[in-house]
Structure formats: structure tokens, C-alpha cells
Amino acid sequence: MHSILPLPFFHVWSYLQTQPLMGLTATLCTWELACFIDIKAGHKPITNPTFLSITLLACALLVTGTPYSAYFNGAQYVHFLLGPATVALAIPMYANRHSIKKHFVPIFISLTTGSIVAAVSAMLIARALGAPHDVLVSLGPKSVTTPIAMAVAQNLGGQPPLTAVFVMITGVFGAIICTGVFWLVRVKDWRAQGLAAGTAAHGLATARMILINETAGAYGGVAIGLNGIITSIMLPLLVNIFGF
């Protein structure tokens, strides 16, 4: 495909593929474009900027034949910030500490139950539909935040990159449908909404709740942290019990 292009263009293109500049610039430009589309569309669930950005960038990589590693060479600088952003969740948690302390028992019961239901139902359904062992254990931790999910999948003999994809699909799906689901089952309490979003669909659904209500965002943050800890401990036991 490149052979028909003029030589200087090909030279510049090959050079850029070895540099972090293009992957990083592409990520930020695509994000801005996705946010612009989201605003123009009036914040429709389907125009979720994360979902749009991933779709656009994945298509761009496939069309141009750019390997993911060349893209990630630049995008890793954005990816790295997930770590400090996870730590930063302590600030909204602190702001809501009295409410969380007071309701610790309901939080713990709802979160643990929801977390187990989400993980076990996903693995049972996938097993019934013929998915092999490594796909099942990669699917188990899909509701927790990416760095935790990848570590848990690795310990269980799954494939961390596959888990990262499942975590993304779960998060995008959760962020798109969460408000509709809460409306359908009449969950109106911001605390319950935030906790459910963070438990079932980690930071992506929480990112959406943060934009809607601060309390919901704080409970989402609590759910991400607690569910990460609970899933790391519970999932190996559940995998044993159900024989996945």
C-alpha cells in the first residue's frame, strides 16, 4: 500500500511510527473530537467519549495497518496516569467519609453481593455458551478497574490483555446503560446509584456518575476500591467452588 506513496511521505510515516509523539497526539485529538461529538449530540449514552475514542482509534489502527505497540508507545503516557488517578479517588472518598462510615454495613453487603453476582453470572453464561477456561477466568474480574482485573486474571491463569478488553466492554456498556437501568428498577438514591455503577462497571460508569452527582461519584469511588479488594480475595475461591 505504501509503495504507491511518494518516498518522502513514506519516510516521514515510518519515522513517526517509531516515536511516541503520534500515538499521544492521536489519543488527545481523538478524545477532543469525541467530546465535541458528545456535546453536539447532547450527551447521549451511545456518544460516551471513551467508547467513541476507542472505536475511532481502533478503526484508525486497523485501516492504516499500524501495530498496537506503535500506538501504545505514545499512548502509554496517558495510560500511566490511571495509577495516580486511582489514588486520587481517595479525595471524594474522604469528602464523604461520614456518610460512608455510617453506612458501612449496607455498603459492604450490597457491594459483596453485587460483585459475586456479576462475576459468577458472567462465567456461568460464558461456560454454557462454550467459552474455554482461559476466556472464563479472564472474564471473571471484568467488573473491577483495569490494573486490578489484569493482576487477578494473571493469578488465575487467564490472559491479562483479554481481561483489559473485557473490562473496557463492561465499562462502556455499564456507562451507557446505567442511568436507564436505575430508572427501570426505580433506584433513585444517589448513594445506591454510585455504588452500583462502581461495583458493576468500575471507573467508566463512575466517570459518568461523577458528572451527574458528586455523592454518586464518591460512592462509585468507594465501590471501585472495595470491589477491587473483594474481587482479588473472592474470585479465586469462586473459581474453585464453581470449577471454572
Partner 1 sequence: MVRSIMMLLLCQLAGTVVQEGTGLPIPGPVMGLVLLLGLLIWRGGPSQSLHDTAGGFLKYLGLLFVPAGVGVVTELQVLKANALAIAVAIPVSTILGLVVTGVLMQRLLRGKADA
Interface with partner 1 in residues 35-64 (CB under 8 A): 48-50, 53-54, 57-58, 61-62
Distance CA 88, CA 85 (A): 5
213 binds partner 1 (CB under 8 A): no
Only segment of 4-12, 14-22, 39-47, 220-228 that touches partner 1 (CB under 8 A): 220-228
CA dihedral 40, 51, 86, 206 (to 10 degrees): 70
Q: Strand, coil or helix: what is 188?
A: coil
For the chain, the farthest-separated pair of C-alpha atoms sits apart, in whole angstroms, at 68
E strand or H helix that includes residue 24: helix 20-40
Q: Which of 22, 70, 114, 158 binds partner 1 (CB under 8 A)?
A: 114
209 binds partner 1 (CB under 8 A): no
Among 157, 146, 184, CA closest to 244: 157
190: its cell numbers: 444517589
Nearest approach, Cβ of 44 to partner 1 (angstroms)?
A: 15
22 binds partner 1 (CB under 8 A): no
CA distances from 225 to 93, 147, 173, 198 (A): 10, 12, 20, 9
Residues 67-106 that bind partner 1 (CB under 8 A): 68, 71-72, 75-76, 78-79, 81-94, 97-99, 101-103, 105-106
Count CB atoms within 10 A of the CB of residue 107: 21
Nearer to partner 1, 6 or 90 (CB): 90
The count of residues interacting with partner 1 (CB under 8 A) is: 116
178 binds partner 1 (CB under 8 A): yes
158 binds partner 1 (CB under 8 A): no
Q: Which of 21, 229, 237, 240 binds partner 1 (CB under 8 A)?
A: 229
Nearer to partner 1, 6 or 130 (CB): 130
